[in-house]
Amino acid sequence: MINLKIALIAASTLVLTACIVQPLPSQYTAYDDGYGGDTVVEVAPPAPYAEVVPLAPYLGAVWIGGYWGWSGGQHVWNRGHYEHGRAGYVYRQPAWNGDGHGRYHLHRGGWGRH
C-alpha cells in the first residue's frame, strides 16, 4: 500500500513538472478606428477615479481631469494635472463611448477653438 502511494506521488510529480506555464494571450486588442485616431477596444473602461483637485498653482491654470487610457492591452489611469490656459480655446476631456456592438471608443481630448 505504501509503495502504491509513493508510486502515485512520483508519477504526479513527473506529470506536474512537465507543465509549462505561460501567460494567456491578450484577448483585448486596440486599433485605430480610421476616423480621427480614436482607440477602439472590446472591454469597457473602469469607473473613473475620484480625484481631489489641488489648488491652482498659478493664475490661468486649467485643470485637466484624469481619464482611463489604453496601453499594453489594458486600461491605464492617466492622472489629472494643470495646464496653462489657451486664449480662444477650450479643453475637451477624453471620453469612452460604447458603440452598442461590444466595442468602446476612446475619443481623444485636447484643446480646440470655441
pLDDT in tens, 13-43: 544 444 343 343 344 555 555 555 689 999 9
Separation of CA 68 from chain center = 6
Residues 42-82 pLDDT 10s: 999 999 999 999 999 999 999 999 999 999 999 999 999 99
Q: What is the mean pLDDT of residues 102-113?
A: 94
Q: pLDDT class for 84, splitting at 50, 70, 90?
A: very high
Residues 106, 10: Cα–Cα separation, whole Å: 53
pLDDT at 98: 95
pLDDT at 38: 82
Average pLDDT, the chain: 81
**Contact status, residue 69 vs residue 79, Cβ threshold 8 Å:** no
pLDDT at 2: 72
